[in-house]
Amino acid sequence: MAKLTVLTLMGLGLALFRDHRSSYEERLNAFREVKPVELPNCNFVKGVEAGSEDIEILPNGLAFISSGLKYPGIKSFEPDKPGKILLMDLNEEDPAVLELKITGSKSDLSSFNPHGISTFTDEDNAVYLLVVNHPDFKSTVEVFKFQEEEKSLLHLKTIRHKLLPSPSTLTHLWITYPWIP
C-alpha cells in the first residue's frame, strides 16, 4: 500500500511539475497558425465553383473530376442540382472544364451523386470510368465508357451489392473486368 501511495504522489508531482498540455499541443500541432501561401502556378478554374470530390488524371493529361457530392454533414454548393463528371485537358495553356454528357443511362440522372472515381484503359486505349454514386444516400458503382469524339460518357452498368457497403475504396481493386463489353 505504501508503494502505491508513493507512486501516486510521484505521478501527481510530475504532472504538476511538467505542463502536459504544451507537449500535447507540440506533438499534434493543435494550435499552430497556418499562414496562407501564394503558389505561383495555381489558378482559379471556372466551372468547378460547386466543388469537387475526386480527380483522376490519365497519362495523356486528361483529368476526370467528380463534382456535386451531396452527403449528410457536408455542405453542398448546389443542393438542387445533380452531380456531374467534368473533363479538363491539362495540356492546354489555359485549361477549361467541360461537363461530360451522360448517355445510355437507364437510371434517374437527377439523383446522380458522384463520389470517388477511378479509370481503366484497355489494350485498345478505350477509357472506362468507375464512379462511386450515392443515389438517395445508398451506394452503387456506375461504369462508364469515355467517348472522346463526343466528349461524353456512355453508361454501361450499375453495380449494386450488399458486400459493397462503402465502395469508394473498393473501386481501386481490379481483379476481373466482367463489366467491359
Binding region: 53-54, 117
CA distance 163 to 160: 9
CA distance 129 to 120: 7
Residue 134 appears among annotated catalytic residues: no
CA distance 125 to 134: 29
Residue tagged active-site, from 20, 115, 161, 172: 115
CA distance 180 to 172: 16
Residue 159 neighbours by CB distance under 10 Å:
18
CA distance 73 to 83: 17
> Which cell numbers hold the place of 167?
465502395
> DSSP letter at 72?
T
* Residue stretches of the annotated binding site for Ca(2+): 53-54, 117
* Alpha-carbon distance values, 86 to 10, 12, 17, 26, 95 (Å): 62, 59, 58, 41, 12
Q: Which residues are catalytic?
A: 115
